[in-house]
Amino acid sequence: MRWNRASVGAEDREERSLDPADWEEFRALGHRVIDDLTALLAGVREQPVWTPVPRTVREALRAPAPRQGADPADVYREVRERIMPYPLGNIHPRHWGWVMGTGTPVSVLADLIASALNSNCAGFDTAATLVEQQAIAWLAEAVGFPSAASGLFVSSGSMANLTALAVARTARAGYDVREDGVRGGAERLTIYCSTETHSSVQKAAEVLGIGRAGLRYVPVNDAFEIDVAALERAIVTDRDAGMRPFCVVATAGTVNTGAIDDLRSVAAVCRRHGLWFHVDGAFGAVAALAPVLRERVAGMELADSLIFDQHKWMYLNYDCSCVLVRDPAAHRAAFELTPSYLAPTGRGIAPGHLLFSHLGVDLSRGFRALKVWMALKAHGLDTYAELIAQNVSQARYLGTLVSGHPRLECLAPIALNVVCFRYRRDGLGDARLDQLNAEILMRLQERGIAAPSGTVLRGRFAIRVANTNHRTRRSDLRELVAAVVRLGDELVESTSG
């Protein structure tokens, strides 16, 4: 495929573009890509969950930068041979590692369309802006937030937490933090969260100038939920010492175990002390979509800000996360900045203020909203509710398989869709069981059988299944249990013999 040279006039003849000279060749290549991707997704169950990248491929992908271009068909051939066979594996029905959504075919098409349109979604007068506004309004309503709430899509839960905590800092610091910066010493701003809180909260505290010294980790109870009494004591102690408590982060679905903090009680503590109430609902917030699970996240609707990832339990392709802020004025106050080159023109493409660039760090923003909008239109909220409830039911089913097997045990309550368990054998101490289960996990992944991840709970290593997979079936969970027992038995017998 040749690249185009302009031919609109003699003076333009030698000027180049990156468009193909033959659009029909490009169309044929595009059809080939779609056909290959369709075959990949349709046949994913028959493939290993994960395949290590061979040495030859690693070496090929370290080649020097090309000075001259190649035919896109040849470039795609390299993609098909060296990249497509070695994905992370979260498109597979037996991938339950970390908290990763499976992706959907509709999302693939949405990303293709968004890429072709190439909109900068800072908030210009385009259909993309209207789509993002509508998708945010739909999600706010679905999780119980007021219709007047402000929000935007960002890349990840980490960026969403950073955005929300920046709003909290500006709204509750008690002084103009945007002008003066963050004060240290006795007037240090302090944030409160549980020891099970996602690490992105610590990163946000560091980036925002609050620092690790301003982050208070509160202990958890036996269910891995924040100890509300200990939380209130920590706030009172810090305030009496002259510090400035300003925010509490509660979690709706912790990464380790899926635990959900007592959101109503945390909200009440925040009201009593005038603190910002933020909920990290990265995956657990969407439990509100399912009527049978809604009560589990009750109190989330009381938050001043809430974040949740569409690329987790809404199964959308990476990347997309939503941050919602109850008070639109507070949201804008944390980020609004209008240099002359962004001043509204009254009419045309930028008639008013750039809506989304005033609500976060990014000025240049991709059209993430399209895949949310298309997915909701194509599947409907009721379908998501059914799938979310299905994942929870599957997690409980896995729990019964584990509890019913003499060589397996659960290491945490199953609060939502996360199951933490381990292989065990009589006569083996905890240290040996930790090593054994870590080896089982790696072999599950390396053999392409399944891809759970691991964590440590109260000092013990656990195999961790986070079920945000719309392709999972109960037979996959039975296969996982059988493989864990088989691998564990093989390892014990090989060392004892």
Joined together, the tokens standing for residue 15 give 């000027």
Mean predicted lDDT score pLDDT of the chain: 95
- CA dist., res. 374 & res. 270, Å (int): 37
The residue assigned the tokens 């799938």 is: 387
Among 139, 129, 203, smallest CA distance to 166 is for: 203
* Comparison of pLDDT for 114 and 9, the residue scoring more: 114
Answer for the pair 276, 168: CB distance below 8 angstroms, yes or no.
Answer: yes
Dihedral sign for Cα 93, 99, 103, 104, please. Answer: positive
What pLDDT sits at residue 352? 83
| The pLDDT of residue 259 | 97
| Residues 6 or more apart whose Cβ sits within 8 Å of residue 7 | 13
Span 41-52, average pLDDT: 97
| Mean per-residue pLDDT, 393-401 | 98
CB atoms near residue 482 (< 10 Å): 13
Contact status, residue 183 vs residue 175, Cβ threshold 8 Å: yes
- Long-range pairs of 212-220 with CB within 8 A, sequence gap ≥ 24: 213/188, 214/188, 214/189, 214/190, 215/190, 215/191, 216/190, 216/191, 216/192, 217/193, 218/192, 218/193, 218/194, 219/194, 219/195, 220/194, 220/195, 220/196, 220/259
Q: Residue 204: its pLDDT value, please?
A: 97
Given a cut of 60, whether residue 487 has pLDDT beyond it is: yes
**The pLDDT value given to residue 256:** 96
What is the amino acid identity at position 466? A
Rounded (10°) CA dihedral 143, 147, 151, 155: 30
pLDDT score of 7: 52
Fold match between 119-379 and 383-496? no
- Find the radius of gyration of the CA atoms of the chain: 25
How far, in Å, CA of 370 to CA of 361, rounded?
Answer: 20
415 and 252 Cβ atoms separated by less than 8 Å: no
CATH 3.80.10.10 is the classification of domain 119-379: no
pLDDT digits (tens, 9 = 90+) for 27-39: 999 999 999 999 9
Q: Model pTM? A: 0.94
> Between the CA atoms of 195, 198, 200 and 202, what dihedral angle is there, to the nearest 10 degrees?
0
pLDDT at 42: 97
Give percent of the chain with pLDDT exceeding 70: 97
For the cut 70, the answer to whether the pLDDT of residue 4 exceeds it is no
Question: CA-to-CA distance for 299 and 212, rounded, in angstroms?
Answer: 28
Q: Is the pLDDT of residue 221 over 60?
A: yes
pLDDT greater at residue 361 or residue 3: 361
Q: What is the pLDDT at residue 1?
A: 64
Residue 216: closest CA among 239, 207, 224: 239
d(CA 484, CA 463): 9
pLDDT in tens, 406-419: 999 999 999 999 99
**Percent of the chain whose pLDDT exceeds 90:** 90
* 93, pLDDT greater than 90: yes
Domain segments of the chain as ranges: 3-42+51-86, 119-379, 383-496
pLDDT band at 390 (very low <50, low <70, confident <90, very high): very high
In tens, the pLDDT along 161-186 reads: 999 999 999 999 999 999 999 988 87
- Residue range 383-496 forms a domain whose CATH class is alpha beta
The pLDDT score that the predictor gives to residue 183 is 87
Amino acid at 83: I
Check pLDDT > 60 for residue 5: no
Q: What is the rounded CA–CA span in Å between residue 288 and residue 29?
A: 42
The 10 Å Cβ neighbour count of residue 421 is: 25
Task: Write the CB contacts of 289 (distance below 8 Å, at least 6 apart in sequence).
Answer: 142, 143, 381, 384, 385, 388
What does the alpha-carbon distance between residue 435 and residue 313 come to, in Å, rounded to a whole number?
31
- Cβ(379)–Cβ(106) below 8 Å: yes
pLDDT at position 399: 98
| Least confident stretch, 16-25, 77-86, 436-445 | 16-25
pLDDT of residue 15: 84
At residue 111, the pLDDT reads 97
pLDDT band (50, 70, 90) for residue 13: low
**pLDDT at 10 (0 to 100):** 59
Looking only at the bridges linking them, the beta strands covering 460-466 and 418-423 are antiparallel
pLDDT level of residue 354 (50, 70, 90 thresholds): confident
Please determine, for residue 497, whether its predicted confidence score (pLDDT) is greater than 60: no
Q: pLDDT digit string (tens) for 240-274?
A: 999 999 999 999 999 999 999 999 999 999 999 99
130-139 mean pLDDT: 96
CA distance 286 to 304: 17
> Is pLDDT of 118 > 70?
yes
- Total residue count of the chain as it appears in this document: 497
Residue 384 tokens, joined: 């998501």
Whether residue 476 is preceded by a cis peptide bond, meaning omega within 30 degrees of 0, is no
The one-letter amino acid code at 174 reads G
